[in-house]
Amino acid sequence: MESYDDGAFALSGGTLAVLVEEGSRRGLGVALATARARSAGTVHILCGDEPGLIARRAGEFVSPPEVWEVRGRELTPAFAEPHRPSDVPDPAALALVPTIVGAGAEPVIEHGVITAEVQGLEIARVIVDADGARLEVGVGRHDREAFAIIHGREPVAVALARVAAEVGDHRRPGAEPHPLNRIGAERWLRARLIASPRLIGARVLEAGEPPLPRENVKEATPAVAVGRAEDGSDLVVVTSVGIDLDLVPFAADARLRLAPGARLVIVVPRRDVHPITRDLAGSLMSPAEIVSVPDDWRDTI
């Protein structure tokens, strides 16, 4: 048995068994990559959490692994679970969208939550509770709490416009390295492509909802866009920065949720076009295309 960050695996006679650590959604890509590296013919994935999610993503591949749910010492076959319906934003939350736009930020709705983004970085979120809907400014929950303590008396619209301008200055071509341009690179790349879709042969692109809500604003998670290619065909585009073994399963799941018959295009910087990513993209029942952008895309596109 060998361990890795999100679990462990064992190989015996051409059969690979992968144990996915509880709380991880990223076991499928590791299992498929390990199977190719070890020339395994049969793959079994054992998971205690979200086996239906992993089974659904596994079903997008030509030769899917067998997925099992772990219950104590028992194993039972896992079956693909459907995507959950999209949540509808509260009307009171939607009423704050003009404030976001007026401050120079982009309103983004994912799984019923409205956020304000500047070049892909979330700078505010609409919170709905018993007191109604309100905009909280900040990058992530802890930053929003700190911002409220320090700048609580400043009008929200003014504070949001000020932060939007500051973030926009840091997330522009040629900006000096800064914490505000080191996080959310995947969504920053998506924002660039939405502004210039022809860079990847698209006619139009807009932000798309990911298969699952983001768990952490500062955690690297692929970003999704939907649109049309120059020839009018439907597109689902997934952007990522860095090597991510679970990128292809994530992207396939995004297409399955948003537009099952669409072309799937995965966009990464040139240095991140890893052979395993191409291999997995070609192993889907409906293969994905890999498109690269320059490694210095922050400054050149």
Can you tell me the distance from the alpha carbon of 120 to that of 300, in angstroms, rounded to the nearest whole number? Answer: 17
196 and 294 co-located in one domain = yes
Q: Which of 135, 170, 205 is the last residue of a domain?
A: 170
Structure tokens at 170: 């840091």
Instruction: Extract the tokens encoding 227.
Output: 């649109």
- Which position has the token pair 């914490």? 179
Predicted confidence at residue 159, as pLDDT, reads: 95
| 199 in the same domain as 100 | no
Exposure on the CB side of residue 288, measured as CA atoms within 13 A: 33
- Regarding whether 31 and 101 lie in a shared domain, the answer is no
> Residue 8: what pLDDT?
83
- From residue 245, how far is each of 112, 203, 248 by CA, in Å? 28, 29, 7
| Predicted local distance difference test score (pLDDT) of residue 191 | 97
Pairwise CA distance, residues 221 & 240, whole Å: 7
User: Do 195 and 286 belong together in one domain?
Assistant: yes
How far is Cα 206 from Cα 22, in angstroms, rounded to an integer? 34
What is the per-residue pLDDT for 6?
A: 62
> Considering 30, 49, 77, which residue would you say is the last residue of a domain?
77
Nearest to 205 by CA among 215, 214, 192: 192
Within-domain flag for 36? yes
Alpha-carbon distance 122 to 217, whole Å?
7
By residue range, what is the domain housing residue 281?
Answer: 184-300
Residue 281 lies in a domain: yes
Residue 292 has a pLDDT of 97
State which of 46, 77, 108 marks the end of a domain.
77
Residue 53 domain flag:
yes
Please check whether residue 175 lies inside any domain of the structure.
no
120: tokens are: 């892909």
190 and 146 assigned to the same domain: no
Does residue 263 lie within any of the structural domains?
Answer: yes
pLDDT (0 to 100) of residue 147: 86
- H/E/C letters for each residue in 31-53? HHHHHHHCCCCEEEEEECCCHHH
Q: Are residues 198 and 245 in the same domain?
A: yes
The CATH number linked to 189 is: 3.40.1350.10
Dihedral sign computed on CA atoms, order 139, 144, 149, 155: positive
Tokens of 70: 């772990």
What is the number of structural domains in the chain? 3
Q: Residue 153: its pLDDT value, please?
A: 84
What pLDDT, on the 0 to 100 scale, is given for residue 228?
98
pLDDT in tens, the chain (301 residues): 566 666 788 888 889 999 887 666 778 998 999 899 989 989 999 998 899 999 999 999 999 999 999 988 899 999 999 999 989 999 999 999 999 999 999 999 999 999 999 999 999 999 999 999 999 999 988 889 888 888 878 999 999 999 999 999 999 999 999 999 999 999 999 999 999 999 999 999 999 999 999 878 888 899 999 999 999 999 999 999 999 999 999 999 999 999 999 999 999 999 999 999 999 999 999 999 999 999 999 998 8
- Give the model's pLDDT for residue 24: 67
pLDDT given at position 9:
81
According to DSSP, residue 300 is labeled: H
Q: Are 198 and 263 in the same domain?
A: yes
Residues 30 and 97 in one domain: no
